[in-house]
């Protein structure tokens, strides 16, 4: 999909709506509330910025800048003219294609730290006066991609603190095991592959146990992770456990024990 279609429809006219003479737009991305967070989650874990901005750079390179200007800009003109019911002028998009990069400067709080709610995590500003409109044009895709890994990381950390509190009271000799007690199954519950990966990466910033296998290659790709990243075990599921039918449940367990004699 054309990179310039990854925004809210209402933003496609904002380049005409800013006051005449606008040269710079400086925006921030800020977690505004923890109203719906679990009890104890009063801060937000900073995570996902490196992933999101690298993804954004790569996506625009592959799906806009590297393709012929006429191809991508004619597509935009056709789609947005139909969408808005007007003859949409794509001159500003053509100029961006001529530039061959996204003219933005990004600042971010370091990842892996907790940040109070209502404190900006990321700022974005345009670096070319002609493209003042690009800053908030990108806000849509940045917002939709940043909230998920930060939310999952923050909730995972809250759970881990609960685990640690009670492990210290009941089984402090096995404290290290809590790294695997908050196991992630993001591909079982999230709304699509990218959502599962971003959620799973956020979870993996706190816990070591995960069945979201794509998280491993994603963390290697976007965070240069080396060696062990997350792990799991050879587990079963309903299709396996029911295959022997109720007439041979014991046989199913015998087969599993023979297959995995050490567990």
Domain map of the chain by residue range? Answer: 3-19+27-147, 153-259
Domain 153-259 class, CATH top level: alpha beta
Q: Which CATH number applies to 3-19+27-147?
A: 3.20.140.10
Residue 244 has pLDDT above 90, yes or no: no
Task: Report residue 41 CA to chain centroid gap.
Answer: 20
Q: What percent of the chain has pLDDT over 90?
A: 91
Task: Please state the rounded mean pLDDT for residues 131-156.
Answer: 97
Task: Please state the rounded mean pLDDT for residues 189-204.
Answer: 97
Contacts with 208 (C-beta within 8 Å, 6 or more apart), sequence order? 179, 180, 228, 230, 231
The structure's pTM equals 0.92
Per-residue pLDDT tens over the stretch 76-109:
999 999 999 999 999 999 999 999 999 999 999 9
Residue 39 has pLDDT above 90, yes or no: no
What pLDDT is stored for residue 215 in this prediction? 98
SS3 29: strand
pLDDT grade, residue 40 (50/70/90)?
confident
Pairwise CA distance, residues 13 & 133, whole Å: 9
What pLDDT is stored for residue 49 in this prediction? 98
CB neighbours of residue 50 within 10 Å: 13
162, burial (CB in 10 Å: exposed 0-12, middle 13-18, buried 19+): middle
């Amino acid at each position: 999909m054309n990179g310039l279609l990854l925004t809210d429809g209402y933003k496609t006219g904002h380049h005409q709506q800013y006051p005449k003479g606008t040269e710079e737009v400086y925006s921030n991305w800020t977690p505004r509330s923890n109203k719906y967070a679990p009890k104890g989650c009063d801060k937000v874990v900073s995570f996902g910025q490196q992933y999101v901005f690298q993804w954004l750079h790569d996506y625009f390179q592959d799906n806009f800048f590297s393709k012929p200007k006429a191809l991508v800009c004619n597509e935009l003109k056709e789609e947005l003219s139909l969408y808005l019911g007007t003859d949409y002028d794509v001159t500003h998009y053509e100029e961006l294609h001529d530039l061959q990069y996204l003219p933005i400067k990004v600042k971010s709080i370091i990842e892996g730290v907790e940040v109070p709610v209502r404190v900006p995590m990321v700022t974005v500003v345009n670096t070319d006066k002609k493209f003042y409109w690009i800053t908030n044009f990108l806000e849509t895709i940045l917002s939709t991609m940043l909230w998920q890994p930060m939310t999952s990381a923050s909730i995972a950390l809250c759970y881990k603190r609960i685990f640690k509190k009670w492990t210290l009271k009941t089984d402090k000799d096995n404290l290290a095991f809590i790294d695997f007690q908050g196991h992630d199954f993001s591909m079982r519950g999230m709304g699509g592959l990218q959502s599962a990966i971003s959620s799973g990466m956020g979870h993996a910033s706190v816990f070591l146990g995960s069945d979201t296998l794509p998280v491993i290659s994603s963390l290697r790709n976007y965070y240069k992770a080396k060696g062990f990243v997350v792990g799991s075990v050879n587990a079963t599921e309903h299709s396996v456990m029911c295959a022997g039918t109720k007439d041979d449940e014991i046989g199913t367990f015998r087969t599993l024990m023979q297959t995995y004699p050490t567990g």
